[in-house]
Amino acid sequence: MASLIAKHKPPRAEILGGISALLVWKLAQYERDLRDQLIQAEKLASIGTMASGIAHEINNPLFGITGLSERLEHETRPEIVKEYVQDIMEMSRRIAAIVKDLNVYAHKSSAETRCDIDVNHTIEEAMKMARRACVLDEVKVQTEFSALPPIRANPDELLQVFVNIVTNAVQAMEGQGTLVLTTSSANGSIRATVRDTGPGIPQHLLGKIFDPFFTTKEQGKGTGLGLHIVRDIVIRLGGRVKAESAPGMGACFTVELPVTSG
Ligand code: ADP
């Protein structure tokens, strides 16, 4: 190791040893822990904004279960009882699936765990989360996915990249418009785009949206951390993210990630 460091160090750079090396190492670890905490905090904040959507989604089957149970109390015909019980089981499973998705999203993971990921699958998962967060009934979703080589990343972090971008797009469209999701791969990298038909991003703000705490949303609705975290994760994966927008033409976010192994 020492010879490797000596070979690659710039001529005038000093090699730290002893306490200083330990200090730098500890600082690097502290920085990583802080970054993990920030990602987790933003995740919890986005779950906060999902809460009303979730309440709506859980309420419907819950309402059904309550209604059917009341009817069951007085029902004596075996075939009808069976039918009601099956419906109740189906609705309970739906609630369980919603809760399971949320648990997967909310749980804290270490940035260290990387594995091979199909980005198409991650985008589909992100759409599921966005459906929990916002009303998507009147949003047309178009997907143009290409078969992709796997990329090596932490699945939770990559999910958060697309949850943040897709949720922003849906919120910008205020429940109405078209969301176009495309993926492709070329020259050792994959590219994913999320295009919306919302009001777009004014030119003078395009350079600011990735800054921490920059938000145009009203208090309590936005943390201003979503895109900052998106960029942080993408850069750590060796990729890049850019936003484009022309007045009245909506916004388009492009994420490029290298196909690497190891
Ligand atoms: P937050 O969503 O909490 O405001 P973000 O960092 O995710 O924080 O986004 C920062 C800002 O970027 C948003 O407040 C919004 O002004 C702008 N923005 C992001 N995505 C879009 C989009 N698809 N359309 C219009 N504006 C957007």
- Ligand 1 atom closest to the Cα of residue 223 is 3
* Interval 135-162 mean pLDDT: 90
Cβ density class 142-161: b for 16+ within 10 Å, e for less: eeebeebeebbbbbbbbbbb
For the Cβ of 127 lying below 6 angstroms from any atom of ligand 1, the answer is no
Cβ density class 208-232: b for 16+ within 10 Å, e for less: ebbeeebeeeeeeebbbbbbbbbbb
The answer to whether residue 57 scores a pLDDT higher than 80 is no
Look at residue 1 in the predicted model and tell me its pLDDT: 60
- Ligand 1 atom closest to the Cα of residue 216 is 14
* Interval 22-42 mean pLDDT: 82
Tell me which residue has its CA closest to atom 13 in ligand 1.
Answer: 215
The answer to whether residue 193 scores a pLDDT higher than 90 is yes
Tell me which residue has its CA closest to atom 19 in ligand 1.
Answer: 168
Probe target for ligand 1 pocket from 227, 233, 242, with the most ligand atoms within 8 Å of CB = 227
Look at residue 219 in the predicted model and tell me its pLDDT: 74
Q: Greater confidence, 174 or 54?
A: 174
What single string gives the DSSP state of each residue in 33-49? HHHHHHHHHHHHHHHHH
Look at residue 245 in the predicted model and tell me its pLDDT: 95
For the Cβ of 196 lying below 6 angstroms from any atom of ligand 1, the answer is yes
Ligand 1 centroid to residue 260 C-alpha, Å: 30
CATH number for the domain whose boundaries are 116-258? 3.30.565.10
How sure is the predictor about 262, in pLDDT bands with cuts at 50, 70 and 90? very low
How sure is the predictor about 261, in pLDDT bands with cuts at 50, 70 and 90? low
Q: Which two tokens stand for residue 53?
A: 């959507």
The answer to whether residue 111 scores a pLDDT higher than 60 is no
* Interval 171-185 mean pLDDT: 92
Can you give the residue ranges of every domain in the chain? 116-258
Close Cβ partners of 176 (under 8 Å, ≥ 6 residues apart): 138, 139
Ligand 1 centroid to residue 61 C-alpha, Å: 32
Look at residue 88 in the predicted model and tell me its pLDDT: 93
Of the candidates 115, 105, 119, which has an alpha carbon nearest to the alpha carbon of residue 156? 105
Look at residue 77 in the predicted model and tell me its pLDDT: 92
Ligand 1 centroid to residue 168 C-alpha, Å: 6
For the Cβ of 157 lying below 6 angstroms from any atom of ligand 1, the answer is no
C-alpha 190: how far from chain center: 17
Whole-prediction pTM: 0.75
